[in-house]
Chains A and B, each alone.
Chain A
């Protein structure tokens, strides 16, 4: 305050104070709303946060790990054999993480724990546990893919796998 001056001025705020306690200006409010809208769109439409719950994809994906589902992975292409995909139920709050092992029209079977596609034994470096599954040959229907988890150490009856519609595949894990 200058001598002989009746007006008062607010003391100057330092950068740290401005950062933690910003002035509620229209520009600031708009910036916050813009960031919130972008974050909402990105994390609800493009990169869906995944919290893995279960050991079905061990050792590739561990129980209680975090990941992101990249929604545009299959925008212009179809899933291929060996891809890890995210399969939806009624929506995207609860989904399945599985590996595509056979495409539509192919014959899939398990013999002595080994995966056979069209009668040829498949090399699966991602399977780390011994497996004794036996599954008679079956043809994957049109518009569907056959998905299985990497953890084959569990009894076949307890493991959720099978053919599913490609329309249910909502994307792939980002890493």
Chain B
């Protein structure tokens, strides 16, 4: 390999290494992103899901939320404080309506406000098939508040933003 080419290759390797090192760190923002990833994983239901798998997911779902989580969703008439157990039982009931369902988060913007609190804005997209065979698709913007509990971030507040108001 020629000398100038070797120099450029070395620069590329250093840049790649820096990027990998930067991405692999475990900052608060990354932990919050992981919290949303866990939430998406718990809500997602593949067709023919085993009940053992469902029970494990619902148990994990409770660990995503703080001891009391405030939900504000006028459309679903679901406004108020909920415990993780109540969230899990609502999720079990909602999931039973679907043959399969997938929750995905996009455009997660995190703002750390200090003192173990953070706000996050995200687009949540729920797609799936109802038990009746009808396909289902809902997209909402969520404003969330998260609180840090023992090195882990938990969702403390979820407000469904009304993007279109009939």
List residues of A whose CB falls within 8 A of some B CB.
Answer: 24-26, 29, 54, 87, 89-94, 96, 135, 147, 160-164, 168
Contact = CB atoms under 8 A, between A and B. Distances in A.
Contact of A29 (B8, B106, B109): B8
Main SS at interface, chain B: strand
Interface of B: 4-5, 8-9, 106-109, 121-123, 125, 137, 139-142, 163-166
Contacts of B139: 89, 94, 96
A89 B163 contact: yes
A29 B2 CA distance: 14
Contacts of A162: 164-166
> What are the nearest 8 A-B pairs in CB distance?
A91-B107, A162-B164, A93-B106, A89-B123, A162-B166, A90-B123, A90-B107, A89-B141
Contacts of A92: 107
B79 to A, nearest CB: 20
B109 A91 contact: yes
Contacts of B141: 89-90
Contact of A26 (B8, B109, B164): B8
Given A24-B5, A25-B5, A90-B106, A163 B125 contact: no
B122 A94 contact: no
Contacts of A26: 4-5, 8
Given A94-B123, A147-B164, A160-B164, A89 B140 contact: yes
Nearest to A161: B164
Given A93-B107, A94-B125, A164 B8 contact: no
Nearest to A98: B164
